Amino acid sequence: MRRPGPRLATRLMSAQALVIGIGAATMIAAAVLIGPALFHQHLAMTGEDSPAVVDHAEEAFTSAFALSLVFATLASLITAGVVSWFLVRRVATPVEELADAAESVAAGRYDVTVPDAQFSSELQRLSQSFGYMTIRLAETETTRTRLLSDLAHELRTPLATLEAYIDGLEDEVLPTDAASWSTMRDQVARLRRLAGDLRETAAAEEHALGIVLVHTDLGSVTAAAVAAAGPRYDAKGIALTRRVLDAPIWIQGDVVRLQQVFSNLLDNALRHTPPAGSVTLALEVQDALAVVSVTDTGEGIPEHHLSSVFERFHRVDPSRASSDGSGSGLGLTIARAIVAEHGGTLRAESQGAGTGASFVVRIPTS
């Protein structure tokens, strides 16, 4: 490690002492050079020509001048030193505290106390920005830890299933038939889907989804999404209806990405709606906003989960994590990020468990 240099307060006090010393020396030199000569000139202008009087007057002036200069210099040095020390402490203390906080953050400790530096607007901005940065770093670390934990949990089920089937086939406990191969292929597909969704989520957080906005009729986008989801709904016995306006609704949007959004919302509704239930996709215009809602008659969402359903790997019912392998837990996260890239919002609405849920997309019209 580099040897630490002098403290900021020491450097500032040294600089202040140098400035004060130079100022005092300049003042003394100017007074010595100018004062006696000016006094002698004024004494001569009085017309006094007695050598004894002139010598006595000049000696008295020199004595009084020297004594006054010494006391004035000492008083000014002490006053300037005290004021300088106070100002240096006001500047150096918050900087030292910020340096200590930065060392704690660098060591992975984010629960630091950031000083509220009120001495100047620059120090105050620095303190506020550092505090905001600390909060963001703590949130990022928490999210990273949770992501790794959730990812390990998501990988455990398909890997355990594959391992069990491989061991069973190897020990000839399980038959080598189409059902065994189909199960293993399903688990591999689940892992592939999880990897793809993780890549999409990372791209969304970095605003690197490659959104290409074109003049698009949102009605045709929703029609394509409903048509693609129809067979899956029919297989589960859930009614899927689409309610839209007769006139086109034009927006600036990426057709492929928007279809991905509505596909994710329809798949989410399908997973959480029991057979004989229904799902409705409605499209309308409100206050220059295109509003698409996907409403189901399924499980519903408790109020305290309405905002967190968009978090990565979030599930309202954790017990479904192992049994429901149709989703990666990232679909809603990706959907909200895509909608945000279109300048819109995605919200979840529900009256509570067992009352169904509605996911509402709002995108500006063009």
348 and 220 assigned to the same domain: yes
Main-chain dihedrals φ then ψ at residue 98, nearest 5 degrees: -65, -40
197 and 226 assigned to the same domain: no
Contact 94, 114 (CB under 8 A): no
What is the per-residue pLDDT for 327?
Answer: 58
Q: Which domain holds residue 329?
A: 214-364
| Averaged pLDDT in 10-residue chunks for the chain of 366 residues | 60 74 79 77 73 76 78 79 76 77 80 72 78 80 74 80 90 87 87 82 77 93 93 93 91 93 93 93 94 94 84 61 55 90 94 91 94
Helices and strands of the chain, counted as H and E runs: 8, 7
The answer as to whether 86 is a domain residue is yes
How many CA atoms lie less than 13 Å away from 231 in the CB half-sphere? 2
Q: Which domain CATH number covers 280?
A: 3.30.565.10
Question: β-pairing, 278-286 with 239-243?
Answer: parallel
253 and 301 assigned to the same domain: yes
Contact 231, 269 (CB under 8 A): no
Closest to 357 measured CA to CA, from 267, 295, 277, 278: 295
Contact 213, 253 (CB under 8 A): yes
Domain total in the chain:
3
The answer as to whether 157 is a domain residue is yes
What is the per-residue pLDDT for 325?
Answer: 47
* pTM, full prediction: 0.60
